Amino acid sequence: MSDTQTLALPRNPPGDLAIWFFIFAELLAFGIFFLAYAFARAKNVELFNQSQLLLNRESGMVNTLVLITSSYFVVRAVAAIREGFSQVCARWLLGAIGLGGVFVAVKLAEFHAKFAAGISLHTNTFYMFYLSLTIFHFMHVLMGMVILGFVAVKARRGGYSADSHTGVETGASYWHMVDLVWLILFPLVYVIR
Amino acid sequence: MRPCTRIWLLLIALSGVTYGIGEAGLGGKAVVATLLAISLVKSQLVAGFFMGLRRTSFMWRAIMGGYLVVVCGMIGVAYWLGAVR
Amino acid sequence: MQYQSQAVAKPYFIAAIGLFVGQILFGLIMGYQYVVGDFLFPALPFNVARMVHTNLLIVWLLFGFMGAAYYMIPEESETELVSPGLAKLMFWIFLIAGALTIVGYLAVPYATLAKMTGNDILPTMGREFLEQPLITKAGIVVVALAFLFNITLTVLKGRKTSVSLVLLLGLWGLAVFFLFSFYNPANLVVDKYYWWWVVHLWVEGVWELILGALLAFVLIKVTGVDREVIEKWLYIIIAMTLITGIIGTGHHYYWIGTPEYWQWFGSVFSALEPIPFFMMTVFAFNMVNRRRREHPNKAATLWALGTGVMAFLGAGVWGFLHTLAPVNYYTHGTQITAAHGHMAFYGAYVLVVLTIISYAMPILRGRAANSERAQVMEMWAFWLMTVAMVFITLFLTAAGILQVWLQRATDTPLPFMAVQEKIALFYWLREATGVVFLIGLIVYVLSFFAKGETKAA
């Protein structure tokens, strides 16, 4: 096959095509939410800058590292199943889910501290955005973990092979989306001022 | 070292830079632009290498790339508006 | 008909069409009262006509959904219905309770009806769409439970498909959210807050699941496209529906005394609500283009495609028009809302019920499709009603824009009634197109009696 032919071929991303429609719809939701944050901030720069300083940047950073690493584990899981190693694939996936659990734990501790300090959606516009953006993302982490859980169980039972593993790629693509969104969310809400 | 491992380390390093800028409490247009550029690069790395869009047709890369550029770019515009106000 | 028990769907469909005719007649009366306020007063005041118009809509759509479920579930589950007798019994209970309720609305003043039916024991009446007396509401719950019991056990007994699963989820959601109609807090804001849990979470949540399942079922049947392909679409459509629709409830909470963050939640998420509707349109056309067979029932395909397009226009586009909080600041509760309500209900729910009736009714009457002549009449009915609805929507939109302009977005606002007089022209135009709609509906009803050669089932 020549190069021109390769370019002409419509090569779809890994995983089920349906999940990609879903991923882009989700990205659109997050994108609009991010821009709403940014433009609301433009009207309240002082308030946003002050409130942002009170966030726990350490836990945000830890969670960034956790999510990037768990995404990396998922990449390794896909690489493993492409060579037909379903047990190795399942182990990488379990590792990724475990890191998802760490993310959830850190996040819950962070939410707990905020709620204990009496912060709620009503506190001010910044905290309204901080809470709703992070909780919306949090729900996606939970959903991603459930999806990866199903894939891991099936992989463990040898349900995928080197030739047929769309399910692994589908779950992986969703999990990377959850990671990707956090990579914008973290600097936006915790750092940029 | 596998290419994906290199990407992973690069992502860790870039996140460190973002965190460092936050710890230093820096602000201002140049810093905002830098942070947004880092975010753009990181998310492109995840999309291209982790999600595998690098090996797909132009359409898919354009949708994702366009999305990331628009979102990061518009965030930049909003911050610029906040600064001139 | 593959399963004998599917036949119980037939009375449900007939009742649905009958009540639909009633709804349109009351709509026309109201449309006339918009400009001639004392028409039929005091026998039939505007508020009563409006209540009958909207309640009949809900009730006939429920008849349609139940009929659809009774038709689809045996075929999807590949087994007879657990209890066809219970389905028939529930039909009569629901029909008689519904008829008595309407008679109650028309015969006595609403306050008297409330007193007669024990509203002081548990006050639930007096709220838009949920005006039904306590006993009717209780009756609806009983009928819904018996219905859900019947179809759920059938699904559990037989084959489980994505279509029946999504349908069940939608119908259970419908029943669960209806329970909020029994909760009527004294605080008006809190009351409205939960009132939307019924109304919004129905039409922009669980009903969309029912819509998706009905559309998917008919498309599987008329196009012959692989079930896997259709199910995949169904899943992403309902996932998008739930993500955008649930938090999208916020777009009803603007400017009524709820916290400010609802303006953000409502704007962001409901701005995305057109996406699942758009996907439904693409889905319907895509499946028809990829069809593997030429089904003799051309009319059913037309209704299905119409559902996709009109649901997207009415719910998606006309919803988006006034869903952003700053826009809604001006348009809240104007004729823009009425325009959206008409086209969305017609495009999404009226058309999908007519789609399943169009597909199932010939089969229930012992043939694969109606005669050529009957189908042509049905298609005429589709175009007459659809074009009429487009114009009703456009005229109401024009009325709404003018209303916003004269009454709200101005330095010298006019009083409400003064504005109503100025936009009367559009109400007249709306009434005229309403008559066209009725003609379309009459043609539709007549199509059931058209003679001609039919193909065997």
- pLDDT exceeds cutoff 50 at A1: no
Report CA-CA distances (Å) from C331 to C89, C198, C405.
Answer: 45, 22, 10
User: Are the C-beta atoms of C357 and C13 separated by less than 8 Å?
Assistant: yes
Give the count of domains, chain B. 1
At residue C455, the pLDDT reads: 66
Q: Assign residue A145 a region: left if phi > 0, alpha if psi is -120 to 50, beta otherwise?
A: alpha
Q: What CATH code is assigned to A15-24+45-191?
A: 1.20.120.80
Residues 6+ apart with CB under 8 A from C314: C340, C342, C343, C344, C345, C346, C347, C348, C393
Instruction: Measure the N-to-C terminal CA separation of chain C; round to a whole number of Å.
Output: 8
Cα C46 to Cα C29: distance, rounded to the nearest angstrom: 9
Among chain C residues, the shortest Cα distance to A32 is held by: C268
Are A38 and B72 a contacting pair, CB within 8 Å? no
User: Which amino acid, one-letter code, is at C446?
Assistant: L
The 10 Å Cβ neighbour count of residue C415 is 9
Q: How far is CA C71 from the centre of its chain?
A: 19
As a whole number of Å, the end-to-end CA separation of chain A is: 51
Cβ contact, residue pair A128, C267, below 8 Å: no
Which pLDDT belongs to residue A55? 94
Instruction: Assess contact for C178 and C144: CB atoms under 8 A.
Output: yes
Whether residue C446 contacts residue C377, with contact meaning beta carbons closer than 8 Å, is answered with yes
Chains A and C contact (Cβ–Cβ under 8 Å for 3 or more pairs) = yes
Q: Which pLDDT value is given to residue C31?
A: 97
For residue A42, the distance in angstroms to the closest alpha carbon of chain C comes to 15
**8 Å CB contact between C324 and A36:** no
C62 Cβ contact partners less than 8 Å away, ≥ 6 residues apart: C94
Question: What backbone torsions phi and psi does residue C369 show, to the nearest 5 degrees?
Answer: -150, 160
Summarize pLDDT for A92-135 with one digit per residue, the tens.
Answer: 999 999 999 999 999 999 999 999 999 999 899 999 999 999 99
For B78, the closest of A14, A35, A190 (CB atoms) is A35
CA distance B68 to B63: 9
**Cα–Cα distance for residue pair C54/B26, rounded to 1 Å:** 59
Residue B63 domain boundaries: 3-84
A13, A68, A173 member nearest B8 (Cβ) = A68
What integer pLDDT is reported at residue A10 of this predicted model? 54
Which member of A21, A28, A121 has the closest CB to residue C261?
A: A121
- Dihedral sign, CA of A60, A63, A67, A72? positive
C239 touches chain A (CB under 8 A): yes
The angle at the Cα of B65, spanning A166 to B69, to the nearest 5 degrees, equals: 145
Both structure tokens of C286: 């895509």
Q: What does the CA dihedral C389, C395, C398, C404 come to, rounded to 10 degrees?
A: -90
The answer to whether the Cβ–Cβ distance between B75 and A38 falls below 8 Å is: yes
Distance CA C151, CA B54 (A): 48
For A136-165, what is each residue's pLDDT tens digit? 999 999 999 999 999 999 999 999 999 999
Task: Categorize the per-residue pLDDT at B83 as very low, low, confident or very high, splitting at 50, 70 and 90.
Answer: confident
What is the number of CB-based contacts under 8 A between chain A and chain B?
130
Question: What is the helix (H) or strand (E) element at residue C413, kind and residue range?
Answer: none
Q: Tokens standing for C195?
A: 């009132």
Report helix angle C298-311 to C274-289, nearest 10.
Answer: 150
Residue with tokens 């059931």: C448
Of A19 and A187, the one with more pLDDT? A187
Q: Using CB atoms within 10 A of its CB, is residue C48 exposed (0-12), middle (13-18) or buried (19+)?
A: buried
What are the angstrom distances between the C-alpha of A21 and each of A178, C32, C233? 15, 46, 10
Q: What architecture is domain C206-450+453-457?
A: Up-down Bundle (1.20)
pLDDT exceeds cutoff 70 at A2: no
How far is residue C453's CA from residue A112's CA, in Å, rounded to a whole number? 72
Per-residue pLDDT in tens (0 to 9) along chain C, 457 residues: 899 999 999 999 999 999 999 999 999 999 999 999 999 999 999 999 999 999 999 999 999 999 999 999 999 999 999 999 999 999 999 999 999 999 999 999 999 999 999 999 999 999 999 999 999 999 999 999 999 999 999 999 999 999 999 999 999 999 999 999 999 999 999 999 999 999 999 999 999 999 999 999 999 999 999 998 899 889 889 989 998 999 999 999 999 999 999 999 999 999 999 999 999 999 999 999 999 999 999 999 999 999 999 999 999 999 999 999 999 999 999 999 999 999 999 999 999 999 999 999 999 999 999 999 999 999 999 999 999 999 999 999 999 999 999 999 999 999 999 999 999 999 999 999 999 999 999 999 999 999 887 766 5
Q: In terms of CA atoms, which chain A residue is nearest residue B44?
A: A180
Residue C347 contacts by C-beta under 8 Å, 6 or more apart in sequence?
C306, C307, C309, C310, C311, C312, C313, C314, C315, C389
Neighbour count for residue C395 (Cβ, 10 Å)? 23
Nearest CB to B78; choose among A12, A38, A173? A38
pLDDT for res C25: 98
**Out of C235, C265, C275, closest to residue A25 by CB:** C275
Interface check B19 vs A, CB under 8 A = yes
**Residues from chain B contacting residue A68 (CB–CB below 8 Å):** 8, 11-12, 15
Whether the Cβ atoms of residue A2 and residue A66 lie closer than 8 Å to each other: no
Domain boundaries, chain C: 1-160, 206-450+453-457
> Closest chain B residue to A65 measured between Cα atoms?
B12
Backbone dihedral region for residue A18 (phi beyond 0: left; psi -120 to 50: alpha; all else: beta): alpha
pLDDT at A3: 42
Task: List C369's β-bridge partners, or say none.
Answer: C455
**What are phi and psi for residue C414, nearest 5 degrees?**
-90, 155
Residue A32 φ/ψ, nearest 5 degrees: -65, -40
Nearest chain A residue to C274 by CA: give it.
Answer: A25
Question: Which pLDDT band, with edges at 50, 70 and 90, does A6 fall under?
Answer: very low
pLDDT, mean over chain A: 92
